[in-house]
Structure 1
């Protein structure tokens, strides 16, 4: 069930569309220096990235670009093009990045995202993170799919707290995001740094307590994710088992999806399809009732006038 290995001989030009970086109006393009950041007594006020809510759905949109929860189909389409644009940008600029967490688990199964995932996850080195902050912060990246039919704009936004390489008050564990500005869906980008080289050398950490040995990460493996060249941590199996346990590598039904070995795809179960149909019908019924009540209220208002 693990994807086949791919060599670096894949023709990059045939896989990618054009991406151009340009600054957002008013953005400086630089990550603020530590002394320029005002620390507030209320930790929640130190938080840079904001989401419209804290649950599985609302917690995975950037508040600035949120216009409502998107459908399953739109989320699938958004994430497919979003990761392709992201990987292309890093490859074109000679910057290292690799897929992580649930995104890495999706790669293990079939080289694709897990269809129930609310967001995507990648990692970079601390040095790359600071380079992004200095040269690409708040830049817009224009993406066109290979067939020319899909055009998107993505914002690369780097958290000004990237200089802080330990958890701190816990409000800024995400170092950067690659955001679809149409709907607010994003890729979380976290940096790994050797935070204690004197007492704990060769151990790389993010601000959310994930730790890796150098030999877990390097040398990176060349592979493909969603049809695009991507880098994978060397000891990906060890990393996945430590994070999700062995069950995640063998469980064939999860979150309303079942693994189809013949298609090598996660497919919605019939129960999930029926559940979503009932939810859609209930939602449509409630909307119709609201509209009917609104019409009655308007008619009543006109009569009194």
Structure 2
């Protein structure tokens, strides 16, 4: 699959994201998992708990895939590579109709200014369980080429699915990452985790319970309906109760602390500036 820069721009329009833009759906009591076919389908656990880890990280840094690099990027190149990484991922998922949304530290960086933290070197997204089955069946190990501004011959990205995604148990602690979107030019990647129905909690009466293999637990109404916004200047989906989820994971101070990792948040420029 090949995308040129112009096709990527046309797909998204690349509208300015300098001002926070979040669609506000009406409040509803609808059970989204029950009315949306691509979310509601049940899957049974398959196979025993694996004893080996599928994805491995490089010996020089745990956020790089050592098959594609033997050293980390210079510091000033990390953020541009990550920006292209998330833009190409979101573009590809949109073009093939695969629903995805940002989460964890990536969602926190979105909350501040819709940009990647300048000290970050990883990205996290989530998908529904039916989506991971869809990607595994039709797009596992596919290569996607993008012509990018200032990049000779563009870059190639690979979507790789962990075959252990069919094991739904949290006991599979070696394979909590269900898939990765990998930049073959640098080894940087996006961790992709599937959100599943939490059968154990549902059996105890928590009818909205969701879980990931990385031991994160949610309610349907915290994730769905997904909101529309922008991240790194392209359209993105975010979970419905984003503030609540961020406070639960990082604490309320993470949404107010303007000094972090040697950077200060400038209210005028809306940028994290390195503290001298």
Query: What TM-score, normalized by structure 1, do the two folds share?
Result: 0.72
Alpha-carbon spacing, 1:99–1:150, altered in 2? closer, same or farther (3 Å): farther
Residue number in structure 2 paired with 1:121: 124
**Of 146, 153, 156, the match for 1:153:** 156
Shift of 1:139: 0.7
CA contact (8 A) 1:166 1:195 kept: no
- Counterpart CA distance in 1 for 2:125 and 2:250 is 16
Superposition pairs of residues 140-289 of structure 1, within 5 angstroms: 140-145=143-148, 151-196=154-199, 197-199=202-204, 200-270=206-276
Which residue pairs with 1:59 in the alignment? 62
Q: In structure 2, the residue corresponding to 1:63 is in which secondary structure?
A: coil
Does the C-alpha gap of structure 1 residues 91 and 209 become closer, same or farther in structure 2, counting only changes over 3 Å? Answer: same
Q: Which residue in the other structure is 1:293 paired with?
A: none
Q: Please give the secondary structure, in 2, of the residue aligned with 1:88.
A: helix
Shift of 1:129: 0.8
Q: CA deviation at 1:13?
A: 4.7
Offset of residue 94 of structure 1: 1.4
Q: Secondary structure, in 3 states, of the residue corresponding to 1:113? A: coil
**Larger RCO, structure (CA 8 Å, separation 6 or more):** 2
In the other structure, the counterpart of 2:4 is: none
Q: Is residue 148–residue 154 contact of structure 2 (8 Å, CA) maintained in 1?
A: yes
Shift of 1:170: 1.0
Aligned CA-pair RMSD: 2.2
Q: Deviations over 1:226-265 (max 9, x none)?
A: 0000001010000000000011001111111111111100
Hey, what does 1:70 align to over in structure 2? 73
Q: Structure 2: give runs of 5+ residues left out of the alignment.
A: 1-8, 16-44
In 2, the alpha carbon distance for the partners of 1:220 and 1:124 equals 11
Q: Deviations over 1:120-146 (max 9, x none)?
A: 000000110111111100111111236
Q: Distance in 1 between matches of 2:147 and 2:87?
A: 10
Name the stretch that deviates more: 123-132 or 200-209.
200-209
Could you tell me which runs of 5 or more consecutive residues in structure 1 were left unpaired when the two chains were aligned: 1-9, 17-32, 271-305
Aligned length: 236
User: SS in structure 1 opposite 2:55?
Assistant: coil
Q: Which has the larger radius of gyration?
A: 1
Normalising by structure 2, what TM-score?
0.80
